[in-house]
Amino acid sequence: MKHIFEQRVFYADTDCYGVVWHGAYLRWLERGRVELCEMFGHDLAELKKQDILLPVVNLNIRYKMSAKLNDEIVIETEITKFNGFTVTFKQYIKSKETGKTYIEADVDVVAISDSTGKLYRRMPENLARSFEEALGCLQPA
């Protein structure tokens, strides 16, 4: 399953060179991951109430070309790996007009306890099932 959304580049997203500031891409990547989790029924505020946080532990971004002011971009997010402990999101930010890739990212996320800050030994079952479904390992419930 893939989550896709579109975004226009605003002035606040750009730097003094007139291109998207490298850190602005992180906001769009975060939105993609959050909304993909929401597609599976996992609201991050509700997970926090269940003592579950999902911090990023590894972020690998390849910047291929720069988006510019008023460009229409497309953000694609999908789960590509899950080992029971870490889930990997593959994300692309592309030009809506040309389809060319601005950035490609691999983002690893784990589950920690909000109250203790300690890692869960395994991803909590409700999340694990969703991630396995996303990879086609399980049939949807």
What digits encode the pLDDT tens for the residues 126-141?
999 999 998 986 555 5
Rounded CA separation 106/34 (Å): 15
Rounded CA separation 87/105 (Å): 14
- β-bridge mates for residue 88, sequence order: 81, 108
**Entry pTM:** 0.92
Model confidence pLDDT, tens digit, residues 6-49:
999 999 999 999 999 999 999 999 999 999 999 999 999 999 99
pLDDT score at 138: 53
Task: Supply the DSSP symbol for 116.
Answer: T
Q: Indicate if 106 belongs to the active site.
A: no
Phi first, then psi, for residue 93 (nearest 5°) are -120, 120
Candidates 13, 15, 43, 106; catalytic one: 15
Q: Is the pLDDT of residue 98 over 90?
A: yes
Q: Where are the domains of the chain?
A: 2-134
Task: Supply the DSSP symbol for 9.
Answer: P
Question: Domain 2-134 is classified in which CATH homologous superfamily?
Answer: Hotdog Thioesterase (3.10.129.10)
60-to-89, 103, 114, 123 alpha-carbon distances in Å: 11, 10, 25, 22
Q: How large is the average pLDDT for residues 61-72?
A: 97
